[in-house]
Structure 1
Amino acid sequence: MRRLLPALQNPFELDLRALALLRIGTGAVVLTDLIIRSTDLVAHYTNLGVLPLHVLYQYGWNPYVFSLHTSSGLWQVQALLFALAALTAAALVLGYKTRWATAISWLLLISLQNRNPLIVQGGDDLLRMLLFWGFFLPWGRVYSLDSRKQAAPGSYRYFSMVTVAYVVQLALVYWCTALLKNSPEWSQDGTAIYYALSLDQILMPLGRLLYPQAELLRGLTFLTYYTELLLPFLLFLPFRTTWWRLLFVGVLYAFHLGISLTLFVGLFYLINMASVLGLLPAQVLYKLAAWLHPRWAQLAARTHTWRRSWVTWLPVRINVHVQWYPGSRRLLRAGREAAVGALLVYICWWNLDTLPQFRWKMTEPMRWFGYMFRVDQRWGMFAPAVFKDDGWFILDGTTTAGQHLDLNREGQPVEATKPASVVALFKNDRWRKYSENYLFVANSYMRPYYCNYLLRIWHENPAHPPLRQLEVVYMKEVTLPNYRVAPPVREVLCTCAPAPRP
């Protein structure tokens, strides 16, 4: 029995240096996400944008969630919250006050996501879960400014209930993704990748090159499905753990790089690549440490000098020192392990509840915790089937002189022909996701606000001719089997006009 227990522990034992890389990668992705989101600060997060606060509260608000970003519809308040989030994300990368930086980054991230659920995608669920589990992980123990005040750990090996939760969470992402893909096009017909690459709204250049290869796409469909379904089992093998983890990380890196080169998925691939850094084995980390250590020491020295220069002017410095007795420390650790174990059971149940095959459904009164702390998750990427409805937007503005201009193409004359690159019409993946949600009938409430937002920003430029009407038109193009496409159908989703001047 004593020999069996260490073997069962092997799949869940992580390296402190790998956890530090997980922290750095997660913080870097949060920073990148903030930079991209900040380019649409007014459009996506203020009352002058596409989702004013009163509309959010009326149509898209969950009473169990909270958001600091809903405290005001002014861009100045949003900019302040963005700046605070960027500072805490930078502190997370550097490992300064790591536990606090993790908690505040998580709090501000879910606050930001709750402010505009119309632009949230699957990768956002994983990003907030990395921060959630990161609060319990010792990912600031090494490669951090905090670690400069501590002795080097006697061993880099670390095992606890939270490492179990981290590994299980990664497995759930891919298992649930595969199990939710229950349409024949994934497991029988092999046509799912064909339909995915038929979506011009997300098609990248490499995907365009692969698209004519029907047999290759069929093989890639089965490869994708069975990779997601079977690969996570490698994480739980109790022998030769190093090699199985290297295989898992290597396959997923190739998998997500391939997705990013063929489909426009925003930060989805970077989030997934950062999420597996905590699995890196010691053999890889020893080589990485030899390259990283001198560079980290140089950066830490510079950061320490900078930190001393700005901390001195703070009016108050608070230092709290708590002395823990051995019995209290053991009790606290046992309580933490029990809490993490209960959280893991809850999250596993939530994931199983998303599967149509699962019978023991979670009752609605039990969901408040998941919504409040945003551990709710659903990994339904291209599931149960790939969308067949494709197309492109025409923002048909009619000038006072009767001309028709396409605001989606910088005011050029309206053309009914498909653009050479539909994906190029989107500023970033957040706008692509918003446009996808714009099509759903259930979201029809959002259409006039987008239309009026477009009119307002158009008229802010005095060089633009005034418009008397704007139509948001969708050229719907349904993908058929065997490289056939239905003729595009013009659908007017919304019509609006400028408010009359007094």
Structure 2
Amino acid sequence: MGDGSRVRAALAERVGIDARALAAFRIYVGLLLCADLLLRARDLSAFYTDAGVLPRDVHAELYPTLSRISLHTLSGALWWQALLFTVAFGFALLLTVGYRTRLSAVASWLLLASLQARNYYILNGGDTVLLVVLFVALFLPLGRRWSLDARASDGTDTTANTPIVGFGTAALLTQVVLIYATNAVFKFRSDAWMAGRAVPQIFQVERFVVLLGPYISEFTTLLVAINWLWVAMLVASPLLILTRRWLRATLVASYMGAHLAMRLTMDLGLFTEAMLTGLLVFLPPVVWDHVEGTVGPFINGIGGWLDSRPRIDAAVQPSIAVLPAGLRRSAARALPVATALVLVVGLLWQVAAVGAVATPEKSPVEPEEHSWKLFAPNPPANDGWYVTTGETAAGETVDVYPHADTSFGRPDHIADTYPNARWRKYLIGLQHGSDRRIAAFAHYLCRTGAETHGERLTEVEITFVHESVHTGERTRTDFGTYRCPSS
């Protein structure tokens, strides 16, 4: 083998993705989309309708561009949101089983982007990760293995076990590494992270700490060690691409373990689950050979059952319009260019996010505001909770905070005053929100408070109590008193 062939083989082994890894990625993403929709549905009215915290007129005023591109803003009615959620859930299921995979993936991405654009204030880093990795994966053959589409091909695809290599795979792998590497840059700019204080400080912020977190928070020395271990893992993240075979598999397992440890101790929204989607595609063929050998009998059993059913292509193909051959050839020629563009843009975005290159003065988006910081450079130093009271038409003062009974006295568990990560993100961000946004929340409290107490409220008062994690000192931010609408 010549030098050129060896270089190409080494490059392919590092930026190629096993077809079974893409299949696992597809299944996991599909299930994650389903779970995300079910969890979001708990607050369907509050976050996505005109009766919630962000009516469409307020959304259009604060985010005019997002309000125009979101399908979810076509109506503020509950039925419309429920319909879009149901359609998105259906496409996510089709993506999971690999039926019309490309169509299902594109539809799932478009509906996810529309959903995220409807209420920007409840998003966290995991939402962005999921949106980005799914977009990059649209250019890859997600249905080549372990899919109904593959079953419909009668096994004639001779490339089924061939690793996929190209700009698209390089873009997907690189994007995951850039998340870690960018985060490392911001942490190196942090006095708290570089002094080993960041993780111990974060674990004193009760609103994030769940499950095993309260117990771990007592072991400061252990948390300092975790601080330095995580920084080291961020710095070492390029090894995910540079290594291969079992060494790469071991590295991937360590990163997966770190994220699962986060899930057992902290509530970071979808961040852990979203990062696992990106790590799956790094697992090398040796892992999937072992997995397939272990679960082969189960897969073969399912395959035998499917073979006894009517063939998918025979049942539906006559009703499906096939793209003209010329259009398919044009798309095939354009795909490398598109994936190369995705790779370059992804690299430039993160380079701009860390300030290595300047962004245009009239840029509509600032990359640093949408980069992978995760508690950097400044980890939170304050905890806190809301106190909201309302006055009824009869002159009685009542508690109208919809998630817990709160007062100016410290709650037993601050985390319990935030029902989930999305409410926490919305409410913490409200402290820095515009007057228009706070007024919309006040009107939401007027409506929910009236429903809770069975009579109309005339006004509500909103206060946030800050508590320093260092000194325990408490201060108050009074957002003011808001008159409730008369109807």
The normalised TM-score by structure 2 is 0.89
Instruction: Name which of 149, 157, 163 aligns with 1:157.
Output: 163
The question of whether the paired residues in 2 share the 8 Å contact of 1:178 and 1:229 is answered with yes
Distance in 1 between the 2:76 and 2:310 partners?
33
Q: Secondary structure at the match of 1:485?
A: coil
Which residue of structure 2 aligns with residue 383 of structure 1?
Answer: 376
Q: Which of 244, 250, 264 pairs up with 2:253?
A: 250
- Per the alignment, residue 166 of structure 1 pairs with 172
Contact 2:124 2:270 in 1 (8 A): no
The alpha carbon displacement at 1:341 in A equals 1.0
Residue 259, structure 1, aligned to residue 245, structure 2: no
| 75, 98, 115: which one aligns with 1:72 | 75
Taking the TM superposition and a 5 Å limit, the aligned residue runs for 1:347-426 are 347-356=346-355, 358=356, 360-363=357-360, 377-399=370-392, 404-408=397-401, 412=405, 415-426=407-418
Give CA-to-partner distance per residue, 1:236-269, whole Å, 9 cap, x none.
326xx01232122211111111111221112211
Change (3 A) 1:296 1:94: farther
Which amino acid is 2:163 matched to? R
Give how far 1:138 is off.
Answer: 0.9
Look up the match of 1:438: 430
Residue 427 of structure 1 pairs with residue 419 of structure 2 = yes
**1:426-468 deviation line (CA, Å, top 9, x unaligned):** 222111110111111x43321111121122123224x646544
Q: Which amino acid aligns with 1:498?
A: C
Distance in 2 between the 1:302 and 1:142 partners? 17
Distance 2:191 2:34 in 1: 39
Structure 1 residue 207: deviation in Å? 2.0
Q: Which amino acid aligns with 2:359?
A: M
Contact (CA 8 Å) 1:391, 1:477: kept in 2 or not? yes
Question: Deviation of residue 130 (structure 1)?
Answer: 1.8
User: In the comparison of the two structures, how many residue pairs are matched?
Assistant: 477
Aligned to 2:190: 183
- For residues 61 and 303 of structure 1, what CA distance do their matches in structure 2 show? 48
Distance 1:268 1:476, change over 3 A: same
Residue 171 of structure 1 deviates from its aligned partner by 0.5
Structure 1, unmatched stretches of 5+, are none
Q: CA 1:377 to 1:416, structure 2 compared with 1: closer, same or farther past 3 Å?
A: closer
RMSD of the TM alignment (CA)?
2.9
Alignment correspondent of 1:220: 226
- Provide the rounded CA distance (Å) in 2 between the counterparts of 1:304 and 1:114: 42
Pick from 225, 239, 259: which aligns with 1:234?
Answer: 239
Q: Deviations over 1:217-249 (max 9, x none)?
A: 22211111221122x2212326xx012321222
User: How much has 1:271 moved relative to structure 2?
Assistant: 1.1
Q: Secondary structure at the residue paired with 1:264? A: coil
Among residues 476, 480, 491, which one is paired with 2:466 in the alignment? 476
8 Å contact from structure 1 (residues 31, 89) kept in 2: yes
- Please give the secondary structure, in 1, of the residue aligned with 2:479: strand
The range that moved more, 147-156 or 212-221, is 147-156
In 2, Cα distance between the equivalents of 1:250 and 1:465? Answer: 56
CA displacement at 1:20 relative to structure 2: 0.2
Query: In 2, Cα distance between the equivalents of 1:300 and 1:444?
Result: 58
Asked whether the equivalents of residues 48 and 76 of structure 2 are also in contact (C-alpha less than 8 Å), the reply is yes
Aligned match of 1:450 in 422, 425, 441? 441
Residues 118 and 434 in structure 1, CA contact (< 8 A), matched pair in contact too:
yes
SS at match of 1:474: strand
Distance 2:65 2:294 in 1: 48
| Counterpart-to-counterpart distance in 2, 1:364 and 1:36 | 39
Q: Partners in 2 of 1:305 and 1:68 — Cα distance?
A: 40
Task: Please show how residues 71-150 of structure 1 align to structure 2 within 5 Å.
Answer: 71-150=74-153
The answer to whether the 8 Å contact 1:448/1:494 transfers is: no
Distance in 1 (CA, whole Å) between partners of 2:116 and 2:485 is 31
Q: Distance in 2 between matches of 1:390 and 1:366?
A: 34
* Inter-CA distance 49–64: structure 2 relative to 1 (3 Å threshold): closer
The amino acid that maps onto 2:469 is T
What does the per-residue CA deviation read over 1:66-90, in whole Å, with 9 as the maximum and x for residues that have no partner? 1111111111111111111111111
**Pairwise mapping of residues 274-285 of structure 1 onto structure 2 (< 5 A)?**
274-285=277-288
Q: Is the 1:145–1:300 contact (alpha carbons within 8 Å) kept by the matching residues of 2?
A: no
SS in structure 2 of the partner of residue 157 of structure 1: coil
Partner of 1:219, secondary structure, is helix
| Separation in 2, partners of 1:45, 1:346 | 31
The CA distance in 1 between the partners of 2:305 and 2:412, in whole Å, is 48
Matched AA of 2:482: C
1: CA distance, partners of 2:192 / 2:216: 18
- Matching residue's letter, 1:184: D
State the AA in 2 paired with 1:209: Y
Distance in 2 of aligned mates of 1:50 and 1:42: 9
1:10 aligns with 13
Matched, 1:489 2:456: no
Structure 2: distance between partners of 1:107 and 1:320: 22
Q: Secondary structure at the match of 2:319?
A: coil
> Aligned equivalents of 1:129 and 1:307: distance in 2?
36
Instruction: List, as ranges, runs of 4+ consecutive aligned residues in structure 1 with deviation greater than 6 Å.
Output: 300-309
* C-alpha deviation, 1:399, in angstroms: 4.5
**Deviation per residue, 1:372-394 (Å, 9 max, x gap):** xxxx9411211211121221112
Report the secondary structure of 2:64's partner residue. Answer: coil
Aligned residue in 2 for 1:200: 206
Residue 400 of structure 1: CA displacement? 5.4
In 1, the alpha carbon distance for the partners of 2:61 and 2:439 equals: 15
Structure 1 residue 298: Cα displacement: 5.6
Is the alpha carbon distance of 1:500 and 1:46 closer, same or farther for their aligned partners in structure 2, counting shifts above 3 Å? Answer: closer
CA separation of 1:25 and 1:10: change in aligned 2, threshold 3 A:
same
* Distance in 1 of aligned mates of 2:122 and 2:303: 36
Which shifted more, 148-157 or 345-354? 148-157
SS of the aligned residue for 1:199 comes to coil
Distance across 2 between alignment mates of 1:40 and 1:410:
12
Cα shift at 1:410: 6.5
Q: What SS is found at the alignment partner of 1:408?
A: coil
Structure 2 unaligned residues grouped into runs of 5+: none
Change (3 A) 1:236 1:268: closer
